[in-house]
Amino acid sequence: MAPSSYTRLVLAERPTGLITESTFRKEVVPYDLKADNKQVIVQVDYVSLDPGSRIWLDEATTYVEPVQIGETMRLFAIGTVVEAGEGSGFRAGDLVSGLLGWTEYVVIDGGSVAKVKVPEGATFVDFLGPLGHTGLTAYFGLLEVGKLQPGEKLLVSAATGSIVCQIAKSRGAKVYAIAGTPEKCAWLENDLGVDKALNYKSPTFQEDFINSVDRFDVFFDNVGGEILDFALTRLNVNARVVLCGALSEYNARRSMGLTNYIKLLEQRAKIEGFIVSDYTEQFPEVLEYLSRLLLSGSLKRNYHIVEGLEQAPKAFNLLFSGHNTGKLLAKVLRRKNNNLRLLAFLISQPMCLGSFMAHYFEC
Ligand SMILES: NC(=O)c1ccc[n+]([C@@H]2O[C@H](COP(=O)([O-])OP(=O)(O)OC[C@H]3O[C@@H](n4cnc5c(N)ncnc54)[C@H](OP(=O)(O)O)[C@@H]3O)[C@@H](O)[C@H]2O)c1
pLDDT attached to residue 101: 98
Q: Are 245 and 225 spatial neighbours (Cβ–Cβ below 8 Å)? A: no
> What percent of the chain is predicted at pLDDT more than 70?
91
Q: Using one digit for the tens of pLDDT, what is the confidence trace for 241-250?
A: 999 999 999 9
pLDDT mean over 14-37: 97
So what's the pLDDT on residue 360? 45
Q: How confident is the model at residue 2 (pLDDT cuts 50, 70, 90)?
A: confident
Q: How far is CA 164 from CA 57, 231, 288, 303, in A?
A: 27, 18, 16, 16
Query: Is the pLDDT at 359 greater than 50, yes or no?
Result: no
What average pLDDT does range 327-346 have in this prediction?
71
Indicate if ligand 1 lies below 6 Å from the C-beta of 224. Answer: no
- Ligand 1 centre to CA of 222 (Å) is 5
223 Cα–ligand 1 center, Å: 6
- How far is ligand 1, taken at its centre, from the CA of residue 303, in Å? 14
Does the C-beta of 130 come closer than 6 Å to ligand 1? no
pLDDT of residue 211: 98
- Whether residue 353 is predicted with pLDDT greater than 90 in this model: the reply is no
Pocket test for ligand 1, best of 319, 325, 327 (most atoms within 8 A of CB): 319
State residue 349's pLDDT score.
Answer: 53
Cα-based distances in Å from 254 to 110, 225, 260, 343: 39, 11, 18, 51
Q: Which residues make Cβ contacts (< 8 Å) with residue 221, sequence separation at least 6?
A: 157, 227, 228, 231, 241, 242, 243, 244, 245, 246
Instruction: Please give the average per-residue pLDDT across 37-45, as a whole number.
Output: 98
User: Could you tell me where the DSSP H helices lie in 204-335?
Assistant: 205-212, 225-231, 262-266, 283-295, 312-316, 318-321
Confidence at residue 347, expressed as pLDDT on a 0 to 100 scale: 56
Region 43-58: mean pLDDT is 96
What confidence tens digit (pLDDT) does each residue in 293-320 have? 999 998 999 999 999 999 999 999 999 9
Judged by DSSP in three states, 147 sits in coil
5-128+301-362 under CATH 3.90.180.10, yes or no: yes
Going from the C-alpha of 55 to that of each of 21, 39, 161, 184, 338, the distances in angstroms are 18, 29, 19, 26, 33
Q: Find the 150 Cα to ligand 1 centroid distance in Å.
A: 25
- Please name the CATH architecture into which domain 133-279 falls: 3-Layer(aba) Sandwich (3.40)
Residue 255: alpha-carbon gap to chain centroid: 23
Angle CA 224–225–227, to nearest 5: 80
Q: Is 273 helix (H, G, I), strand (E, B) or coil?
A: strand
**178 C-alpha to ligand 1 centroid (Å):** 11
Burial of 361 (0-12, 13-18, 19+ CB in 10 A): exposed
Per-residue pLDDT averaged across 85-110, rounded? Answer: 98
Report the nearest atom of ligand 1 relative to the CA of 274.
Answer: 1
pLDDT at 358: 47
Mean pLDDT of 217-230: 97
Determine the Cα–Cα distance for residues 267 and 258; give it in Å rounded to an integer: 16
Sequence spans of domains, the chain: 5-128+301-362, 133-279
Nearest alpha carbon to residue 148 among 238, 280, 68: 238
Q: Which of 7-21, 131-145, 275-289, 335-349 has the lowest mean pLDDT?
A: 335-349
CA-proximal residue: ligand 1, atom 27 (nearest): 320
Angular region, 304: left φ>0, alpha ψ -120 to 50, beta rest: beta
> Alpha-carbon distance 354 to 339, whole Å?
17
Across the chain, mean pLDDT equals 92
Protein residue with least CA distance to atom 24, ligand 1:
158
Question: Does ligand 1 come within 6 angstroms of the Cβ of 341?
Answer: no
In 3D space, the residue among 243, 233, 242 whose CA is nearest the CA of residue 264 turns out to be: 233
What confidence category does residue 361 fall into, taking pLDDT thresholds of 50, 70 and 90? very low
161 lines ligand 1 (CB under 6 A): yes
Q: What length does the chain have?
A: 363
Residue range 267-287, pLDDT digits in tens: 999 999 999 999 999 999 999
* Confidence band, pLDDT 50/70/90 cuts, at residue 337: low
- Strands 95-98 and 77-84, by their bridges, are antiparallel
User: By three-state DSSP, how is residue 154 classified?
Assistant: strand
Task: Please tell me the residue having the least CA distance from ligand 1 atom 47.
Answer: 52
The whole-angstrom separation of Cα 177 and Cα 156 is: 5
pLDDT reading at 343 higher than 80: no
Q: What is the pLDDT of residues 147-190, one digit of tens each?
A: 999 999 999 999 655 899 999 999 999 999 999 999 999 999 99
